Structure 1
């Protein structure tokens, strides 16, 4: 009978948590929480490893790390290591959010997306369960963090080792995530693994084998909190009272607050320390005063103070726990405050905790002294330089190349401001601008609560396609020349980012006009083609007829995957080749050659008149007859657009080609200006490019133009 009553009570409490609190007015919504929730889930899709599911919405992501010991899971942060301790914690928190506020996901139209994302990571955790051990990390943290490039090509740079252990911290955390998942996704497989992982962790009761991640995610709090967290969720999933007995038996082993007998309460529920959330759940399950007292001590420390101690607050009203991920801690505590307030009747405490929760989620979304969003792609003046390799899309293994982010990392909550509310949006500041799966975990749960109260409207047709840059292209210069020959230097570039990728059958064509050769009575066989220098092995064809007197040579890389966006020496392959006539002849003249047009000595320039191919598919440039690439289709014949009639200088912000419209051409021109790829801009063009009107064109203007093209401004 006691077991039945306990289960009924637990179910009733869970039901009460999905009802909007009567103390919060439904007309006091401050932000479009549904949009924020929608974008937060997109962030998790940007972190997906392995073969991407067909529902993944991130156009600049592709299958990656396909040789990992276990495929799938989430990359941890702005890097590409898979750390199971924060990963499984994040999964548990997302599951908890679904458990508490399912109507928040339903109202915002995000339930199916949430289920997909949670299942994706839980399936990975199942695959990491090896029975007597678990895979707890994939990737070398030091090597990974020393390279700055997109994840799709990381395996060209380094091997990715995997590490196994039987440590209680990780088995407990994985068990908790799978136990929650078994409830909200109604999956018995997850429950089976949750039980076995918990049994393993409880029998080992040690973290001694958890070593590889210690420089990044050390289990500072030990393993008792993870076992407590897991056993509590296993009770909720099964109703088996032995799990509650286990949970309560762990409590004496938890850390104490200073020299007192109180369980430590002056930190935060997080990937390393799950006791606040576990004890909150115990307070609801058992009704015991000691658990209610603990969670009130914890939440009061974060709000009004407890026993003379109170967390530090910034001048702008942010409860600021630590330099690293201060917004992560604040929003996670906001989630706990919200959950606890839903299960108590004390009107004073409800108002205190609900007020804290809403204040802190709104701080992240724009209610702060800077009046800016701390969430990428959301709200006013959001971060545009998160410390995230793949969204920046560098091809040169350089955090400053390009000086902007090629992609919007929608929904990512950055680390946050200093204790004085100071913040600078720069990719170099990994303290303020790092993003991570655990940063978004409690934040996502808090958004679900807000949606459960206020609803909101997700963005239609999200995400909009990005404006793509040239990904594979040729640059060339005249290496040397004489009366009987022309020697060219061509750099074939792979700066791909939609997504970053490699191409095996990579080649380019160089076109010449041989009318003067034939007019002199010479034959095609009189001309010779020779490669002098090649950075990577290539084969070069003899001259082949394109049309009429137009001929071409094809330079094919034996393995085009050697050219990839992974570093200064990797993203570009150089070839020097010569086309020559016999000595003592005088008919050779390259000036009428199609591909020679616009080239200069010594300085390489980008040219569309050297065409690039993936196998037989044209992917860059324009052939002599006007054939140009068509995205996702076989190249088609196109007619070159007529030259626009000159007009008075444009005053339209962003209209850098002075055409009277703002489009992707202007985006490309501004990029060329910022990278010094093109310098002959008129004062009228630069005035049009000065988006913020400060008298110069810089990366801020580039970001503003990107937002304009994406319909964000």
Structure 2
């Protein structure tokens, strides 16, 4: 028996030794479901404009609400909306759904991926102006000069928008919308994809694409995006004229230096999508020349081709210092998709093995994770303004991020394999929407093969810091004359926010028998541009009185800089000479600092309008647990108006007039109900979804159900 067992063990060892080193293991190395769950969540942290109800990021709020086009994604750790990488991101997320949508449904993540894709595509539709597009919103140079949460950005700068018809962007938008029309079954997306392709094909030029050049220049030209959009329009329509167009563009693609071969030694990315286009051409046509190119490209990334191979850092295929993991994980997605279509087991195992090594490296096979909030030693200091949430406009303060940027793939190690989790390292430690695009795709593929379990009740609530409070110090005491230096702080981060009607109360105890009308309240100093009214004593309860300091516009106090996050006011309280007033008995005196060292006070209470948001009143009253603003503001009925029907057909819900109802219109309706938006006659008719002659919260509810697919009102 022992000899038999030994023989079987030896045989098993020999079989293992004989297996190719790039064979995929029978079980997954990581919880790919959790990684997928978090990688999709990252996109919700990047959302601009009015946030949808399904946004799960408790530290994000509505932002850049004055943009010419609402919605879309902030690009990276900054706040510019660049349509080239954004539309590329949408095309990759859509491609992931196209290949693996059915496979990931059991993970519970398909609905989140669809929601996020739709959010981007609705923005791209809104950017389509027919003969031109809005290709960028925000000034990259100005934006990068400020380090604060995006919810406060418009206090710092105006945001220009840039319009043109550069083919690199219009064609990438066409591709994204074509894929979206397939996976989301939306004919509006297909309509825009066709018109944008026609515009792209007739233009064939990137002229006018100026504003983004220092950030996302079209190095590869427009040819790759046009071919990419053509093949996806063929798949979406089954119209062979698009296939013919795609094949006619093959000869126009970039070539290797000094040889006529099509460029194969780079990566599928926001700038160059001809690799993915060739892969889909190979799958759609079966032509050997297309398959040969794809294999040449993937071999260069994996085992080498014709004596050439990408540089390796351990198991990581390393292409470039900017986003090395972005390239590797995107190529892993392409390899996995291509391997799915092959019958050749050698190639299949080669590309599957390559794909798994790259994604596993990102998830932690080197000993550390490169994904925020996932695995062992994940990055804790990504180069990301809103996740860091500095209130002083300093990337070095506070020392630690206030939020976990779950699911964000950082740039990755340098060519030497070195990596430091440093917020200042925007090369290796920034995050970006395009970094996560192919990353989401390969995680879909890994879940399809290996499964996994998403985290229950994700995300867990964060432990919140105090956001609004007063710091104070006693600066002078002479008998019955007291002077205080008080600082009203706005260090908000859940989410960062502006409050117009900010005020606070300083409580005084006159139980010593002092006549409140004899006490004089004044100010020695009030900070410039922080105009406030300071009341005389007001009755609270019994012998307790309070002084109210109310700011004319509390939005001037915001977490945007060292002089912006707090408003200084020097308060003076004078009782009659000889009175028995003892200021040390005053409820708000307790815990104050002295001289130049203010201390946070929990007994100077802070208010948003009449709502207590910080501190404890003398009777023990504390803020309600629901005092923080909800993700979606509570909508109350507004004054209705009679609408006169306009001539022509108005699509119900289509407030922006682009021919369809989507999340952008939902955002405009929210602004209208909050009194921040006015409607034209046509817009009013569109907003009156139930056709009862008014536009109110009932219509808002119908719109919400429409976005969720629970109601169809057009």
- TM class by shorter-chain length? 0.7 to 0.9
Matches within 5 A, 1:501-512: 501-512=497-508
What is residue 449 of structure 2 aligned with on the other side?
453
The 1-side partners of 2:449 and 2:564 are apart by: 52
Which consecutive residues of structure 1, in runs of 5 or more, have no partner in the other structure? 1-22, 635-713
How far residue 484 of structure 1 moved from its aligned partner, in angstroms, is: 2.7
Q: Does 1:606 align with 2:600?
A: yes
Please say if 1:361 is aligned against 2:359: yes
Distance 2:23 2:106 in 1: 17
Report Cα offsets for 1:680-711 as digits up to 9, x if no partner: xxxxxxxxxxxxxxxxxxxxxxxxxxxxxxxx
Match for 2:458 among 462, 467, 489? Answer: 462
Q: Does 1:249 align with 2:248?
A: yes
Equivalence map 1:31-42=2 (5 Å): 31-42=30-41
- The whole-number CA distance in structure 1 between the counterparts of 2:450 and 2:295 is 26
Alignment partner, residue 575 of structure 1: 569
Q: Does 1:549 pair with 2:543?
A: yes
Q: Give the Å deviation of 1:280.
A: 0.6
| Inter-partner Cα distance in structure 2 for 1:51 and 1:441 | 23
CA–CA separation in structure 2 for the residues paired with 1:508 and 1:612: 4
Deviation of 1:577 after TM superposition, in Å, equals 1.4
Output the CA distance in 2 between the equivalents of 1:526 and 1:422.
Answer: 70
Equivalence map 1:414-563=2 (5 Å): 414-516=410-512, 518=513, 522-535=514-527, 536-563=530-557
In structure 1, how many angstroms separate the alpha carbons of the residues matched to 2:626 and 2:526?
30
Aligned Cα root-mean-square deviation (Å):
1.3
Secondary structure, in 3 states, of the residue corresponding to 1:431? coil
Task: Give the whole-Å Cα distance in 1 for the aligned partners of 2:284 and 2:487.
Answer: 67
Correspondence for 1:167:
166
Counterpart residue number, 1:589: 582
Which string of whole-angstrom CA distances, capped at 9 and with x for unpartnered residues, describes residues 526-561 of structure 1? 111112211111111111222222211111111111
Q: Does 1:277 align with 2:276?
A: yes
Partner Cα distance (1:189, 1:397) in 2? 42
Contact kept? 1:485, 1:588, Cα under 8 Å:
no
User: Is this contact kept in 1: 2:612–2:627, CA < 8 A?
Assistant: no
User: Which residue is 1:8 aligned to?
Assistant: none
Equivalent position of 2:179 in the other structure: 180
- Give the structure 1 partner of residue 3 of structure 2: none
Aligned to 1:643: none
Alpha-carbon offset, residue 598 of structure 1: 2.5
TM-score when normalising by structure 1: 0.83
Q: Secondary structure at the match of 1:355?
A: helix
| Residues 249-270 of structure 1 deviation map (CA, whole Å, 9 limit, x = unaligned) | 1122211111111101000000
The answer for unaligned runs of 5 or more in structure 2 is 1-21, 629-714
Map 1:374-413; keep pairs closer than 5 Å.
Answer: 374-413=370-409
User: What's the counterpart of residue 288 of structure 2?
Assistant: 289
Q: Quick check: 2:24–2:356 contact (8 Å CA) kept in 1?
A: no
Displacement of 1:479: 2.2
Q: Distance in 2 between matches of 1:525 and 1:107?
A: 70
- Residues 507 and 614 in structure 1, CA contact (< 8 A), matched pair in contact too: yes
Give the structure 2 partner of residue 338 of structure 1. Answer: 336
What count of residue pairs does the alignment treat as equivalent?
A: 604
State whether residues 26 and 453 of structure 1, in contact with CA within 8 Å, keep that contact through their aligned partners in structure 2: no
Counterpart-to-counterpart distance in 2, 1:581 and 1:346? 93
Are 1:92 and 2:91 matched, yes or no? yes
State the shift of 1:192 in Å. 0.6
- 8 A contact 2:501–2:554 mirrored in 1: yes
Equivalent residue of 2:365, what SS? coil
Distance 2:456 2:580 in 1: 63
Residues 167-208 of structure 1, C-alpha deviations (whole Å, 9 max, x = no match): 110000000000000000111110110010011011011101
Instruction: Output the CA distance in 1 between the equivalents of 2:517 and 2:343.
Output: 94
- C-alpha contact 2:473 2:596 (8 A) present in aligned 1: yes
Q: Say whether the 8 Å CA contact 2:556–2:564 is kept in structure 1.
A: yes
Is the Cα contact below 8 Å between 1:492 and 1:572 reproduced in 2?
yes
CA distance in 2, matches of 1:122, 1:311: 34
Distance 2:69 2:356 in 1: 39
- Deviation larger for 472-481 or 440-449: 472-481
2:331 matched to 1:325? no
Counterpart secondary structure, 1:627 = coil
Give the Cα separation in 1 of the matches to 2:338 and 2:559: 48
Residues 24 and 53 (structure 1), Cα distance of their counterparts in 2 relative to 1, 3 Å cut: farther
1:98-152 CA distance string (max 9 Å, x none): 1111233212111111111111100100000000000000001001001000001
Is the 1:104–1:455 Cα contact (8 Å) retained in structure 2? no
Three-state SS of the structure 1 residue aligned to 2:375 is coil
- Report the Cα distance in structure 1 between the residues aligned to 2:102 and 2:325, rounded to whole angstroms: 25
SS of the equivalent of 1:424 reads: coil
Deviations 1:320-354 (A, max 9, x none): 00000000000000111111111121111111111
Contact 1:474/1:610 (<8 A) preserved: yes
CA shift for structure 1 position 366: 0.8
The more displaced of 621-630 and 316-325 is 621-630
- 2:111 is aligned to 112
Deviation string, structure 1 residues 235-291 (Cα, Å, up to 9, x no partner): 011111111111111122211111111101000000000000000111111111111
Q: How has the CA–CA distance of structure 1 residues 172 and 354 changed in structure 2, closer, same or farther, with 3 Å as cutoff?
A: same
Q: Which runs of 4+ in 1 moved over 6 A?
A: 23-26
Q: Is the 8 A contact 1:107 1:451 kept in 2?
A: no
What's the secondary structure of 2:120's corresponding residue? helix
CA distances 1:565-616 after superposition (whole Å, capped 9, x unpaired): 111111001111111023x435343121111122222211111011111111
2:155 is aligned to: 156
Task: Indicate the residue corresponding to 1:191 in structure 2.
Answer: 190
The change in CA–CA distance for 1:501 and 1:632 in structure 2 (over 3 A counts) is same
Partner-residue secondary structure (3-state), 1:577: strand
Q: 1:633 offset after TM fit, Å?
A: 5.0
